[in-house]
């Protein structure tokens, strides 16, 4: 079946509602902006209330869409369950699991609480969000985009083994859900960003400066020299790919994992 809609309609999200986790900052914020520009109403989910309020104000003012902000700690399943009780009456059409943390710790120093925190925010929350989304949408189907990382397939930064483990879980879930729920009308895809300049990565860099972690800067330089495009990416460069996956432009894309890494993984 071919889609005869004009390009502008294929890229439109008018009349659709999207839930974006981690929408207060960085890549999540950029996704929110592109989705709002495409006409989607948004539900931002984050722990950062101040950040969400600013994003909601800016985007509703600029694009005239409805943006609500829900403070949810994605480490806590009961908070995720409550969120979906609130969303039940007007369920979203699109879910973007973007929230994530990348705290550095040597493999041998990772204890149970630390590992649990990383897995909870980066993987388990996305698992529960997908469960709720698929249950709520039922036979209507919907679109899910998960934000993984190149770190899940090529370990390059020391102190992030736990992070890679959480992010490869997202890839497994993406592909499995695409297979199981495709026939119900769900499309499930993932993006795999490389090094992207965000408030989150700024924080990591500033901590490295404070602690004089020279190795971190050497890895950073090696990283950029290996990227064929010779630079870090911008949040909007990930957001544009997520927008593509969320729209009818990607109507036959299901179970895909798209790298957005300036070509890093070609090496």
Does residue 164 touch ligand NAD according to CB under 6 A?
no
Out of 37, 54, 73, 234, the residue judged to bind ligand NAD by CB under 6 A: 73
Whether residue 252 lies in the annotated active site: no
Does residue 196 touch ligand NAD according to CB under 6 A?
yes
Radius of gyration (C-alpha) of the chain in whole angstroms: 18
Does residue 91 touch ligand NAD according to CB under 6 A?
no
Which range in 12-20, 134-142, 179-187, 196-204 contacts ligand NAD by CB under 6 A?
Answer: 196-204
Does residue 58 touch ligand NAD according to CB under 6 A?
no
Write the CA distances from 221 to 105, 188, 226, integer angstroms: 20, 34, 9
How far is it, in rounded angstroms, from Cα 125 to Cα 129?
Answer: 6
235 Cβ neighbours under 8 A, 6+ residues apart: 26, 27, 29, 30, 196, 197, 198
Out of 33, 46, 93, 237, the residue judged to bind ligand NAD by CB under 6 A: 46
Does residue 157 touch ligand NAD according to CB under 6 A?
no
Does residue 48 touch ligand NAD according to CB under 6 A?
yes
Nearest to 62 by CA among 54, 71, 70, 73: 54
Contacts of ligand NAD in 98-137 (CB under 6 A): 98-102, 121
226 Cβ neighbours under 8 A, 6+ residues apart: 264, 267
139 Cβ neighbours under 8 A, 6+ residues apart: 184, 185
| Residues found near ligand NAD in the complex (CB under 6 A) | 22, 24-28, 46-48, 51, 72-75, 98-102, 121, 147, 149, 193, 195-196, 198-201
- Positions annotated as catalytic residues are 163
């Amino acid at each position: 079946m071919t889609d005869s809609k004009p390009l502008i309609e294929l890229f439109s999200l008018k009349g659709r509602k999207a839930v974006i986790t981690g929408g207060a900052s960085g890549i999540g914020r950029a996704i929110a902006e592109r989705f709002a520009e495409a006409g989607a109403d948004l539900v931002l989910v984050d722990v950062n209330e101040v950040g969400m309020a600013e994003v909601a104000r800016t985007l509703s003012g600029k694009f005239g869409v409805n943006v609500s902000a829900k403070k949810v700690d994605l480490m806590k399943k009961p908070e995720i369950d409550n969120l979906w009780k609130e969303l039940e009456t007007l369920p979203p059409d699109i879910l973007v699991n973007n929230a994530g943390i990348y705290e550095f710790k040597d493999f041998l120093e990772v204890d149970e609480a630390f590992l649990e925190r990383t897995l909870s925010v980066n993987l388990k929350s996305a698992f529960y969000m997908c469960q709720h989304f698929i249950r709520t949408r039922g036979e209507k189907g919907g679109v899910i985009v998960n934000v993984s990382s190149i770190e899940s397939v090529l370990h390059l930064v020391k102190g992030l083994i736990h992070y890679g483990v959480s992010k490869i879980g997202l890839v497994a879930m993406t592909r499995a859900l695409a297979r199981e729920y495709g026939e119900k009308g769900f499309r499930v895809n993932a993006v795999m960003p490389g090094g992207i300049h965000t408030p989150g990565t700024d924080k990591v860099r500033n901590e490295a400066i404070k602690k004089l972690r020279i190795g971190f800067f050497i890895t950073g330089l090696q990283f950029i020299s290996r990227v064929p495009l010779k630079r870090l990416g911008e949040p909007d460069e990930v957001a544009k790919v997520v927008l593509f996956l969320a729209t009818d432009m990607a109507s036959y894309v299901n179970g895909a994992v798209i790298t957005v890494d300036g070509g890093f993984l070609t090496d």
